[in-house]
Amino acid sequence: MEHKTSDLGGLTVRALRTRRRRLASGLSDVEALLRGTLVSQGRRCGKENCRCASGDLHGPYTYLSVPRPGGRPRLVYVPTDLVETVAGQVAAAVRVEAALVEITAINAELLARRAPG
């Protein structure tokens, strides 16, 4: 059963620790995590006489849009044969980040009950 973070107050200390252990043991290999969003974009090659100059773009190609603090996202080209791998890494990062949010919320709840650790 899924518990939202706001439901943590209804769980016992024991249940909180069990949930925390399950979340921690489900964390993927953190070395493979990749934060970003896969986007599909057409491109102009820059040649004057090319069909793309009149709007018939090349592609679409897949890019990973990587957020940069205080700047525009960086677009990294993803070769077709790597799209599946990268999509898996991005999905893993989303899951791990959500798990970390929940683990830290559980720890805050445990602290509030004077039962840290």
List of residues contacting Zn ion (CB under 5 A): 45, 50, 52
Residue placing its CB nearer to Zn ion in the complex, 52 or 83: 52
For 2, the 3-state DSSP assignment is: coil
What is the Cα–Cα distance from 48 to 6, expressed in whole angstroms?
58
Q: Please, what sign has the CA dihedral across residues 53, 55, 56, 59? A: positive
Residue placing its CB nearer to Zn ion in the complex, 52 or 110: 52
What is the Cα–Cα distance from 78 to 26, expressed in whole angstroms?
27
CB of 54 to Zn ion, least distance (A): 10
Residue placing its CB nearer to Zn ion in the complex, 4 or 47: 47
CB of 42 to Zn ion, least distance (A): 10
CB of 45 to Zn ion, least distance (A): 3
CB of 67 to Zn ion, least distance (A): 29
Residue placing its CB nearer to Zn ion in the complex, 2 or 48: 48
**CA torsion, ordered 22, 24, 30, 36, to nearest 10 deg:** 80
